[in-house]
């Protein structure tokens, strides 16, 4: 069975397994996210890929689908915010290998992995490498929609497409003085080494504060850091 149906449909209530948090989107937020986000499906199983596309498009999402990771890299525009729903096991590049390539290329798109019972360890490893979440097969429709909604919301928020000024200010207010200094330099595109030299601190110290700042701001890339800092100014 590809999908589990769950009866009466509820609005997406999204959880991010990685941090154990749950985000509930209002109808207005969900509509804005669906308008601006693109969900990519990467899976070699034609039946599952078609079923995923049908469910998502029925719920109002824009969708692109690819039979392989190589097709995804050739055909996708990573500058368009949203997320990637990707199978862990595929011919050619596996999902884990594709995630590594995305990290090397600086893709900021969050990845949601689809995994069978025997691949849980691989999925957990993917979380440690920055994946947004993983969903076990057979896919539960409500969980899939919830995770996509939350993940796509954060993707657009990081790109400055969803955050309003008050939300951005609230996130910036959570930063310590050191985190704020480092976030500003990250937004300028400086590497950890150059930030350490500029502030006369160790690279490891930069790494710790940088990770904390990006987590509080809900972003991944220097461009996203800059967008939130500007929105919260």
Please tell me the total count of domains within the chain. Answer: 2
What pLDDT is stored for residue 124 in this prediction?
75
Average pLDDT, the chain: 82
pLDDT above 80 for 89: yes
Residues 189 and 127 in one domain: no
Domain that holds residue 125: 3-158
| DSSP 8-class letter at 225 | H
Residues 116 and 74 in one domain: yes
Residues 207 and 152 in one domain: no
What pLDDT is stored for residue 1 in this prediction?
44
The CATH number for 128's domain is 3.40.50.2300
What pLDDT is stored for residue 5 in this prediction?
40
pLDDT above 90 for 58: yes
pLDDT above 80 for 145: yes
What pLDDT is stored for residue 125 in this prediction?
74
What pLDDT is stored for residue 122 in this prediction?
74
Q: What is the mean pLDDT of residues 192-214?
A: 91
Helices and strands in the chain, H and E counts: 11, 9
Phi and psi at residue 88, in whole multiples of 5°?
-70, -45
Residue 228 CA to residue 10 CA, distance in Å, equals 31
> Which positions ≥6 away from 14 have C-beta within 8 Å?
22, 23, 24, 25, 146, 147, 148, 149, 150, 151, 153
Residue 70 CA to residue 4 CA, distance in Å, equals 29
pLDDT above 70 for 7: no
Residue that is last in its domain, among 140, 158, 176: 158
Contact 132, 151 (CB under 8 A): yes
């Amino acid at each position: 069975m590809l999908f589990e149906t769950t009866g009466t449909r509820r609005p997406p209530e999204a959880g991010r397994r990685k941090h154990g948090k749950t985000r509930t989107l209002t109808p207005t937020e969900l509509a804005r996210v669906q308008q601006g986000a693109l969900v990519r499906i990467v899976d070699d199983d034609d039946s599952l890929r078609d079923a995923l596309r049908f469910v998502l498009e029925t719920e109002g999402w824009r969708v692109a689908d690819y039979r392989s990771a190589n097709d995804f890299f050739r055909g996708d525009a990573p500058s368009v915010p949203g997320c990637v729903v990707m199978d862990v096991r595929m011919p050619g590049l596996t999902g884990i290998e594709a995630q590594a390539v995305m990290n090397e290329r600086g893709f900021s798109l969050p990845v949601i992995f689809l995994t069978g019972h025997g691949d849980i360890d691989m999925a957990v490893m993917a979380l440690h490498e920055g994946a947004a979440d993983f969903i076990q097969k057979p896919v539960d429709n409500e969980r899939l929609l919830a995770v996509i909604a939350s993940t796509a919301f954060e993707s657009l928020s990081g790109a400055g497409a969803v955050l309003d000024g008050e939300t951005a200010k609230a996130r910036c207010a959570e930063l310590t003085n050191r985190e704020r200094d480092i976030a500003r330099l990250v937004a300028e595109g400086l590497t950890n080494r150059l930030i350490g030299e500029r502030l006369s601190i160790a690279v490891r110290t930069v790494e710790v504060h940088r990770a904390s700042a990006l987590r509080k701001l809900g972003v991944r890339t220097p461009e996203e850091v800059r967008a939130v800092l500007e929105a919260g100014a």
